[in-house]
Amino acid sequence: MYLTPQHVLLAGATGLTGEHLLDRLLNEPTITRVLAPTRRPLAEHPHLENPVGDPAVFLPQLAGRVDIAYCCLGTTLKQAGSESAFRAVDLDMVVAFSKRAREMGARHLLVVSALGADPKSSIFYNRVKGEMEEALKAQDWPQLTIVRPSLLLGERVEPRLAEQLVSPFSRLIPGKYRGIEACTLARALWRLALEEEDGVRVVESDELRRLGKK
């Protein structure tokens, strides 16, 4: 377990999971700096650095050493508008962020993927997530944690129909495939960052739910 203060780089801080994770990080006494670049401003905090703008512009400009990096970037085909735009976020931007985090000294990357991620999948969403995972593995991180949650549940600015339909029946769905609350996933991500386990670790939804219990 890490016992010294940590500097954290976080991508996706305005998303459903990222918001919960940011709140957790800013309230952890071991965290002295959270660098969270976003497209829109975040609420101010003494330990928060929040570059605002186009990621393609500010990503190469991020400065300062970081110990760990979280990537909660992700969109949907509907939000992106096309397969190429979706791939630009969920694959290209994630890989670029990961590369920059490594250049800034991070030894541990924790990235949110999805249950069913597989580079050979016939399902476009799962295939892109699988390609993203393989690209990060090729970067040869000392410690890479890939989390694969099932359907994320929680209050969004733009509610998603699948979440609204699944949520009332979640207890009837087998554990691995049951929807997981974003706040639970955020707690799991924090706890996984405290584990020093070199190499690649893939954590799926049922284990994430266990790790994220209060």
Q: Average pLDDT for consecutive 10-residue bins of the chain (214 residues)?
A: 75 97 95 96 97 89 95 94 96 97 97 98 97 97 97 66 48 69 96 92 96 86
Residue 5 has which token pair? Answer: 């203060």
Say if CB 139 and CB 106 are below 8 A apart.
no
Predicted confidence at residue 154, as pLDDT, reads 77
**pTM attached to this predicted model:** 0.89
How far apart CA 105 and CA 5 sit, in angstroms, is 15
Q: How far is CA 7 from the centre of its chain?
A: 16
Tokens found for residue 21: 């994770």
- CB 171: neighbour CB atoms within 10 A? 6
Query: What CATH code would you report for 6-211?
Result: 3.40.50.720
Domain spans of the chain? Answer: 6-211
* 125: CB partners within 8 A, 6+ apart: 77, 86, 114
Q: How many CB atoms lie within 10 A of CB 68?
A: 23
Confidence (pLDDT) at 156: 45
